[in-house]
Amino acid sequence: MTGSFDAVIIGAGHNGLIAAAYLAKAGLKVCVLERRHVIGGCSVTETLWGSYKVSTAAYVCGLLHPKVVKDLQLHQHGFEILRRDPSSFTPLPDGSYLLLGSDEKFNAEQIAKFSKRDAEAFLRYEEAMDKVASFIEPLLVSVPPKFPNWSLSDLPTYLKILSSFLRLPEPERELLSQLFTASAWNVLNEWFESEPLKVTLATDGVIGTALPPTAPTTALVLFHHVMGSVTGKRGVWGYVRGGMGMLCEAIANAARKHGATILTNAEVKQILTRNDTVTGVMLNDGTEIKSRIVLSSADPKRTFLQLLPQGVLPDEFVRKIQRIEMTAASFKVNIVAESLPKFRNAGQGTRNEELFLRGTIHLCPSLDFLEKAYADFVCGEPSEKPMVEMTIPTVLDKTLAPEGKHIISLFVQYAPYEPVGGWERWKDEFVKRILAVVDEFAPNFSSSIVHLQALSPKDFETEFALTGGNIFHGDITPDQMFVFRPVIGWAQYRTPLRGLYLCGAGAHPGGGVIGAAGHNAAMVVLKERKRLRL
């Protein structure tokens, strides 16, 4: 196919599709090009093993920005969120457990089993996090101001940020500054004393991150994961009915309704330029597609270091892109099981049993456990006893598998990009280690497995085009967020080439299924529409 479009978008992940939907809605002739056979990027449902529908990468939805859902009328296009309540279950080696959900009284009773003081503090903690999140949330769907160089046009944004920061009560201002600098463990220590509660919350501080929860800056990762409120309650994540790919199908439906073309099996080999200006793209098969603008939702290293010929970008910009940290940490196991796991003391044999299995099951009982898991990783090996987050979407979503069978997702840490001896040596062994951890808490779980898919960071790179196997298109650290994302001086979705924009998780506000990067990039393009002659 050859053709000519106002805008070509590289990648049909949720951000690329969101950018496409906004631009098509505004009347632009848009084409989305996806290298895989299926749309969705990391937010995908794949039919593995016959009719089983598996969210092969991302598995829970909590951060998706409500503005995007509303603007694109996603509920009318097939998007449905299934709220998980209780949302979190932490079984402990002595048979006790912590179950948390959206009900304050229930949470207080659960936490009081370990500490009465923490039961009270938890309510205050959630309120404080909510206030800080309310300050940050509008910033997610706005374009960061220019930094360190700035112009008068940035002044209103700086003033808006400053005035809403000053409106935060003093304790929340203090909390905010801690969240941007401290370790998750340090922040949690200030609020709580009981380890089961702290370690349950701390796992959010290390997801996708090659650090232990005691490392400075992991509080930011923790906060990044409690911001969303797509389920109606902050911090309570949901399943997308039909799997994560149904979110992208809904966005694609919205984009198509406004005339967008979406092509799969269409890998962009090169972004074409003339005189520092984008002219279109060339696909792997040599097809050229003309376009005044190109938005890339591929990660920044792939976009700038692989899809552009050498010499078209300023050297200093290239050096900054090369320095972006994109560290691997995670591993994913997707399973079909013929029965539900049986956790000791978890309402077995009662009607309550299912309640324990609705949310994320944290198989990670102590800080010591996490630190040891991390220590192996530092030595270049996958953890001997990995941290496992188990989810069982079929408990709430009966559309994914035949009656009685279950889809089970294990999101695991810590997994190096290239372990000593390579993944050929380690993959089967690591899966054994992961299942051994699950079996410890839910005896005989492994014997219920019918199908299993294991994805290492290398597989993330091959399958989902995630450079370095990093699930966020770039580490979530303060030096790589907001005005520093993707690199300092270039946080406004524009690039040194006229007509080229970044619209994926490598841009503000970063990784996770948020949709804000796609939204913001589209807004920048639409603002510059006249200048771009669109």
Binding site for ligand FAD (CB under 6 A): 10-16, 33-36, 41-43, 57-60, 63, 267-268, 297-298, 302, 307, 330, 332, 411, 460, 464-466, 471-473, 504-505, 511-513, 517
Residues 6+ apart with CB under 8 A from 311: none
Shortest Å, Cβ 326 to ligand FAD: 12
Counting runs of H as helices and runs of E as strands, what totals does the chain give?
17, 18
Residues with Cβ within 8 Å of 70's Cβ and at least 6 positions away in sequence, in order, are none
> Closest separation between CB of residue 151 and ligand FAD, Å?
28
CB of 196 to ligand FAD, least distance (A): 23
Report the amino acid identity of residue 204: D
**Rounded Cα distance, 206 and 217, in Å:** 10
User: Any idea what the Cα angle at residue 310 is, between residues 304 and 314, rounded to 5°?
Assistant: 70
Give me the least distance between CB of 378 and ligand FAD, in Å please. Answer: 22
> Quick one: which H or E segment has residue 130?
helix 116-140
Beta carbons of 281 and 10 less than 8 angstroms apart: yes
Cβ-contact 324, 486 below 8 angstroms: yes
Give the nearest distance from C-beta 69 to ligand FAD in angstroms: 14
Angle CA 429–432–437, to nearest 5: 130
CA angle 187, 378, 472 (to 5 degrees): 65
**Least distance from C-beta 507 to ligand FAD, angstroms?**
8
- For ligand FAD, which is the closer residue by CB, 54 or 121? 54
Q: How many CB atoms lie within 10 A of CB 56?
A: 23
DSSP strand pairing (387-391 vs 360-363): antiparallel
Considering only CA atoms, which of 227, 134, 225, 132 is closest in space to residue 170?
132
Closest CB to ligand FAD among 33 and 388?
Answer: 33
Nearer to ligand FAD, 57 or 111 (CB): 57
**Nearest distance from C-beta of residue 525 to ligand FAD, angstroms:** 16
- Residue whose CB is less far from ligand FAD, 111 or 455: 455
CB-nearer residue toward ligand FAD: 71 or 267? 267
Specify the residue, 192 or 501, whose C-beta has the smaller distance to ligand FAD: 501
- Judged by beta carbon, residue 14 or residue 25, the one nearer ligand FAD is 14
DSSP string, 46-88: EEETTTEEE--S---B----HHHHHHTTGGGGT--EEE-SS-E
Least Å distance, CB 42 to ligand FAD, is 3
In the complex with ligand FAD, the residue whose CB is nearer, 307 or 400, is: 307
